Each structure stands twice: as C-alpha cells, then as structure tokens.
C-alpha cells in the first residue's frame, strides 16, 4: 500500500524537561534533534509499519532542510516537492508526564502552491493524507485541494488530520470550507479540534482522546497500555497505522511512539 502524505518536513527540536523551567536560570533536560513535521512523521511511520510512503512537501535547501531530507529518505520515504529557501523548525517542550507544548516555524512548507503539485506524485497512491496545518493558510491550502483532486482521479481515498484547535477556532469558517472542498473520507482530530470547526462535516471521524484511546464510528477503542515518555508524534503514528490496518494497528503504533523520545519510529 502506498500512502502519500502532504504537508511539512521540519526540523524537530525536542526538549524533555527534567525539572521545571526556572526564569533567568538553567533547567536540566534531555534533547533530541531530527526530522519531523506532521506529514513527515506519518510517512516515516507508514514505512516502519510495512507500507510505502511518499511525502509531498516544499522543504528547505538550507543545512536544516538537507538534514531532514537525508534522514527521511534514509528511512525509506520517497520525498518529492520543491526544495528552496529555509526549512522550518518545531521546538517541543515535554513535561514530566509526557505532554508537550510546541512552538512552530513552518518555514517554506506553508508556501507550496497548487501549480507546483504534479499529477505524477499521486500516481499509484492508495491514500492521500493531508496535514491539517496546510489548511490554515494560503497558498498551501490550495495545494492541498489540488492534491486531493489529483488523488481522487488516481482512485485514492483522502484523509485529513486536523491541527491546532486554537488556529482552527480563529479561522473556523475558512478551514471548514476548505475541508468541504477536499471532502475527506476520514478525519483525524482531537475533540477540541473537532469542536473548534465552525460547523459539521460529513466524514468518518477518528477522535483522538489521548490516554483514553480513540472513538471511531461511535465505538471506543482503549489506548494500548505502555510507558509514556513523550507524546510528540503519537497522533501521526496513529494515523499511519489506522490507514494501513485500522484502529488496532493505529493504537499500537501510537503506543510505540509515546514510549520513547521523539516523533519518528
């Protein structure tokens, strides 16, 4: 199965705090630097779970961008899309319980344009997975719509993973209109992200409920038990597993993700 994901390839800087931050002073931490971004994470997890993945992303030609591209392709992901400018960076602060707070600079990822999306990138695609970050602003939103159109022509199903309830709430009507034009078969979202939309959407909803698992078609699936070190990327691992094998594989992948530091397999 070939999953094409569209969205961000960014440099992830993950900081797991070993003590609370102290204003004007130091705090001990464990850190990890590597490739990340919602769409990149999904692609990497698809490969790790036995599928094939192609990432469609406008990504940086700077040292950070080259590092991310090298790591992702080394993991078996096919990377396509314009390579220009400065890649983005996401800094994740991870607390003692594994919960994270992110500061995001999406760099050139937000600048992917509809006319830059090539039909050849969707050839052979069984599923197109669209990062919700692309729906928050133009021109990336138009690129996502164009990719979804090409994916449908290729016979692929389309999924969207919503992102950032606060950003959705600020742009609710715009995001909903873009979702309606994309008409995804599946929508992954937290309950807060779903509630932030300015209306309802006909789709199969996979509601992410953290430690309580997921809710699909009104049925609750409990989270797979395990240690929680860092929740960064758990939703992306879940999406990859769900697209390949359904709810149980998704939950198993999410459990693997949170048991270690970092978002990649």
Known catalytic residues? 236
Q: Which two tokens stand for residue 156?
A: 């692929």
| C-alpha to C-alpha distance for 150 and 127, rounded to whole angstroms | 11
Q: Which two tokens stand for residue 219?
A: 């049925």
């Amino acid at each position: 199965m070939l999953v094409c994901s569209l969205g961000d390839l960014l440099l992830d800087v993950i900081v797991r705090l070993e003590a609370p931050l102290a204003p004007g002073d130091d705090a001990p931490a464990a850190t990890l630097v590597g490739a990340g971004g919602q769409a990149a994470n999904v692609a990497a997890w698809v490969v790790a779970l036995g599928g094939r993945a192609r990432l469609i992303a406008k990504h940086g030609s700077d040292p950070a961008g080259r590092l991310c591209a090298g790591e992702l392709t080394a993991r078996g992901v096919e990377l396509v899309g314009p390579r220009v400018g400065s890649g983005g960076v996401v800094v994740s602060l991870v607390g003692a319980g594994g919960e994270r707070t992110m500061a995001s600079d999406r760099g050139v990822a937000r600048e992917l344009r509809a006319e830059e999306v090539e039909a050849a990138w969707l050839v052979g695609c069984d599923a197109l997975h669209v990062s919700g970050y692309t729906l928050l602003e133009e021109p990336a939103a138009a690129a996502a719509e164009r990719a979804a159109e090409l994916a449908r022509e290729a016979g692929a199903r389309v999924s969207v993973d919503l992102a950032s309830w606060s950003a959705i709430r600020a742009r609710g009507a715009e995001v909903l209109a873009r979702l309606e034009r994309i008409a995804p078969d599946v929508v992954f979202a937290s309950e807060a992200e779903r509630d932030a939309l300015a209306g309802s959407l006909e789709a199969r909803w996979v509601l992410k409920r953290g430690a309580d698992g997921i809710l699909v078609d009104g049925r609750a699936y409990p989270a797979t038990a395990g240690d929680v070190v860092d929740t960064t990327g758990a939703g992306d691992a879940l999406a990859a597993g769900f697209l390949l094998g359904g709810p149980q594989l998704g939950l198993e992948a999410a459990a693997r993700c949170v048991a270690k530091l970092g978002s990649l397999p």
